[in-house]
Structure 1
Amino acid sequence: MAAGSRDRLPMLATWRYAQWKSRFLRYVNMKSNKQKLRKCIFDGPYVMTEITVPAKPATTIEEAVPAHNVPKTYKNTTPEKHAYFDVKAEAIHMILSGIGDDIYSTIDACTTAKEMWIAIERLQQGESLNKQDVKTNLFWEFGKFTSRDGETIESYYSRFYKMINEMVRNKLKVATMNANPLALVAATQ
């Protein structure tokens, strides 16, 4: 990932959101318009509002014009606002270029770089937290696994088999197997 990092955006790898975020922001900081890019990503794009045009008194040639509002356009904003407005497309492109196909469809529905950034953060942190919760619950369940009063051996085996399959699916390994003799079965699967 380090090779060519000045020229290419880092790609978001599953379970590596913190590293991707750090590398992505370092990449943004190497750009000449880094302040505008960061502002667009974290604060949202420049929003065209309205400009108040002051009143003009009547002259011998023209009629009086009352004060009125006109929508801001690219033409009637300052060059500083032009640069901030122009960076919107670049920020969106950078974010979309740095994510994989697995979350592209979710993020592509967002209209601003800020919305995309928040959605990626929510998706990645949510998955990380959920994955950790699953692991914690499975280890707790494994450590406390016992038969229930009046439970048949078939029911006991079925519950145990489901728990072991879930642990295998989540790539979990149990370090100690002294607590439950059936855990030896899990080690061989």
Structure 2
Amino acid sequence: MTTLAEHIIVAGAENHPPMLEKSMYDSWASRIRLFIKGKKHSSMMLDSIDNGPLVYPTIEEDGQTRLKKYSELTEAQQLQDDWDVQATNIILHGLPPDVYAIVNHQEAAKDIWDKVKLLMKGTKLSYQECECRLYNLFDKFASVQGESLYEYYWRFSQLINDIHTIGMPMQQVQVNTKFLNALPPE
């Protein structure tokens, strides 16, 4: 027999998109896409995320060109516009408040998706800058006068963890040699 709490969890799981955890963007992106695939007209929503929203057609009226109003769209275009909005809402509901505050002025699902991806993954340039910074810190790493061996080890291990986190290639011999050579003389 299931409990009330289990029923609530199951009911909410189907209606609430997965929440973004900043260190797990790729996992969130694939789970959001799976969540959308379980919805009606999922292909329209995924198309909105990948290619952008419906571009309203224009019409000529009294020598002026203007965008069609929602009521003037075909039934298929109205449906696409509705599901563009639904895709935007699903993505926004899966964002933590601080990320939401950065992207909530965007109206299109594709724009929000791209901004979140950029925020969470960065750009190739920012990765290269980070890699250069870490190599520079590694090359210049030295003990600080008056620092205990524990503090020295702690700073070094934080640097090595940062290097491993971004996937920089570093040989163990190089790490060990740097650690020993940078020790204080006493």
TM class, shorter-length: 0.5 to 0.7
Aligned to 2:121: 125
Is the counterpart of residue 108 in structure 1 residue 107 in structure 2?
no
Q: Deviations over 1:11-38 (max 9, x none)?
A: 1101211111111001111111112111
**Match of 2:21?**
13
Q: CA deviation at 1:102?
A: 2.5
Question: C-alpha separation between the residues in 1 aligned to 2:140 and 2:45?
Answer: 52
Matched to 1:97, the amino acid is: H
Task: Return the index of the structure with the highest Cα Rg.
Answer: 1
| Equivalent-residue separation in structure 2 for 1:38 and 1:173 (angstroms) | 35
Deviation sequence 1:68-109 (CA, Å, 0-9, x none):
756412222211011011123212211111111221111112
CA distance in 2, matches of 1:162, 1:131: 26
Separation of aligned partners in 2, 1:86 and 1:181: 63
Alpha-carbon shift at residue 111 of structure 1 (Å)? 2.2
CA RMSD, 1 decimal? 4.1
Partner Cα separation in structure 1 for residue 97 and residue 25 of structure 2? 15
Matched, 1:25 2:33: yes
Match of 2:144 in 1: 157
Aligned length, in residue pairs: 161
> How far 1:121 sits from its partner (Å)?
0.9
Q: Indicate whether 1:49 and 2:57 are aligned.
A: yes
Q: Is the 8 A contact 2:19 2:28 kept in 1?
A: yes
Q: Which residue of 2 aligns with 1:180?
A: 179
Q: TM-score, normalised by structure 1?
A: 0.64
- What percentage of residue pairs aligned between the two structures are identical? 21
Equivalent-residue separation in structure 1 for 2:55 and 2:177 (angstroms): 64
Contact 1:138 1:163 in 2 (8 A): no
Runs of 5+ consecutive residues of structure 1 not aligned to the other structure: 54-65, 148-155
